[in-house]
Amino acid sequence: KVNREELPEPDSSSMASADYAAPENDVQETLASVWSDVLGVEKIGIHDNFFDLGGHSLKATVLINKLYEVLQMNVSLKAIFDHQTVKELSEYLEDQVEILYEQIPVCAAQDVYEISSAQKRMYMVQQLERGTVYNMPRLFAVKGDIDSKKVEKIFQKLVGRHESLRTSFEDVNGDIVQKIHSDFFFTMERRDRKGWA
């Protein structure tokens, strides 16, 4: 049997084409640069295959997002699978319509916000069950000493940074809405083996 611990880490750079061909235009240079970033391979030639260099569907999704931002073009996952080299993909992109990259705008501050149908469903189930619904508890064993005050401060920063962690749902005149609390304060309960501390 193979001792996997003795095997070296795979080197995807060795999978690059032996006959390196440099990018021939700006689009190919951009593609090679983005591929290099996504795949962690230093030198990408225009005939190198994305999947031979360690690419897979998740990395292809990352690639699509980066290409959308850098080239301002929509590239489908199917296009990545159908055009697996820089040269093939650049030729495919020549026929595509440029779509400007837009970030999702920040919503104006309001007292309450509309909720999606999925959120409304979750709220109704919670009201029917009269308990904690969609709760995902986790238990972690930590070796050694832990500074519980620091852990609490980390969670407080997370709650302060992410609005979804300080959002509640309310019934306002028969409409279910969400409210983002700006003054919400997170505290962590502690207990030892004897009970709550």
Residue 66 within any structural domain of the chain: yes
How many domains is the chain built from?
Answer: 2
Q: Cα dist. 164→33, 105, 132, 168, 188 in Å?
A: 35, 16, 17, 9, 18
Residues 126 and 174 in one domain: yes
Nearest to 12 by CA among 73, 56, 66: 56
Mean pLDDT of 64-86: 90
pLDDT at residue 12 tops 60:
no
Domain residues for the domain of 132 are 117-196
Mean pLDDT of 174-191: 85
Residue 110 within any structural domain of the chain: no
Contact status, residue 53 vs residue 20, Cβ threshold 8 Å:
no
Angle at 148 between CA 145 and CA 151, to 5 degrees: 110
Reported for 24-28, long-range contacts at CB under 8 A and 24+ positions apart, including other chains, are 25/90, 27/71, 27/90, 27/93, 27/94, 28/86, 28/87, 28/90
Predicted pLDDT of residue 99: 55
Residues 8 and 72 in one domain: yes
Contacts of 174 by beta carbon, 8 Å cutoff, 6+ apart: none
Lowest mean pLDDT, pick from 3-7, 34-38, 76-80, 88-92:
3-7
Residues 141 and 176 in one domain: yes
pLDDT at residue 68 tops 70:
yes
Final residue belonging to a domain, choices 93, 128, 157: 93
pTM to 2 decimal places: 0.46
Predicted pLDDT of residue 81: 93
Q: Cα dist. 196→35, 108, 188, 191 in Å?
A: 52, 42, 11, 4
Question: What does the pLDDT look like over 106-137, one tens digit per residue?
Answer: 788 889 999 998 888 888 888 887 777 677 78
